[in-house]
Structure 1
């Protein structure tokens, strides 16, 4: 130490006087004390597990950009649903990887009552499991151009798409879907879906609206999983939200709630924690976040390279959603987290 610097000579009593008896570290000293004063809790009840379904029987194929995630056939999806129920995961969300030969410009396969989503819902419901089924209402897994709506030239047609989505939602509800998840970001689709569900006797089916879905760079591995990376023409910025906007998310969520959404969602999750917080504080309705494929892949890749402790980063990221106000999280980590909780981790 330089001779020009006067060293500190504080005694414990001096420190007590400086702090006025306030020592924040007391509550952090032991495990039991940290648990006692913890402000937020992450439990298995907070988890929704997204599953990718493909054609065939006995199929389990890895998604290269999402380590540990597989596309599974309907019979294997039933097994995964059974696993989720054993682990206490409340809900699974079903997404299809549709055969390219079945995709067309208007997404006709979305209205096939025997498509992958409807078939998976029926098969899982037949098992009588204590688990909720959430389905994706959007056309991108079924269109040859990879967009979430009916396309004319370079334009996505809002109103024509909404009619298609409302009919798609009814088919999914008839197949056993408990939660309808419109992810398309078309204007007015929540009102149309709610009305059409009610008119067809599905008044009890819940709607979890993707209210604030951003045109994000974090969706790449998901598009790999559902097979739309290669087919997407252009981008989705004319209907998904600009990452620069926050007030717009408030207006979107307000409209969705007014139109009949029971729950709202922010997607992606981690880069948009401020949006989760604002929506929860503004509306006090059940609010969810989607920890999307890009977020998952980054944690997996960094963990595999030894750059971070993967399990700790996984749990920390999920706790961040709870801290921001999320009531639940869609995450590909769901079975891993549930297994850790069962082991008392």
Structure 2
């Protein structure tokens, strides 16, 4: 029987990364232990919390992914202080840029799925932060070389590691369905507010204030506007509330450069999205370029959406469905397990032969 553990960057909030982690844990088994740099106990309800979790001192003061990126200069020390025992046969690492550094024995098989590099997401930084980002990236690449099997969707990683397999990040979309057209007036549009600044929100409200729209997503960073215009902020709600809203929208504006989970949910409902370019979701059916001047002018910019089959838009999102990822991972996990079992059997046979000769 193989001893398998899972490692990850952080258990902070419920998002697509946690859904991926839950899928992996479900395939491996209920009792598998989890090693993570950050664990906000009680913040992520569900299967992840129902197991033994080992974490580092970063758990005491890292409250968000943004905090983790800001404190990336502490990651190396924290990761080397968290040790996975040599009795473990296989480590399944789900990384957003940091957790492949968690200390383990050289003989332990390492499978790393480098989902995305959050340390590379564009943001203004001081010289000190820029220096530590470069240091972190150097360490990141060093420990990626340690992986026996490497998956990623990052173009830079795939180019640097030719043996890596390209695997698209996944998200659970089963609740996001195409609903009958007659149910909706299509008299509003939605905007993902998570990547927006206070200045962006001010301009949108000023320019589009007489239009019918809502901001969706977490808005803690937009406190003054969320308080002043509560009717415009839908928030980050469960699929039961979000799915009907997305299914009824004319379109979604989503300018995130992170994994575009809101865009994929909208596409799954058969609705179009407007972006300014996202590495995870190229332009094509259902995904259209946002006019560059939509915030530059003092009047609303007309948005043209071509006629498209909602089912084809839904088909784009199906490439990112968690069920598909689960099938791919299960197949790879079984293959790796067979390799490790065969190696252990061979080592045991050689050991027995040695004792017989003695």
Give the TM-score normalised by structure 1.
0.31
Higher relative contact order (CA 8 A, sep 6+): 1
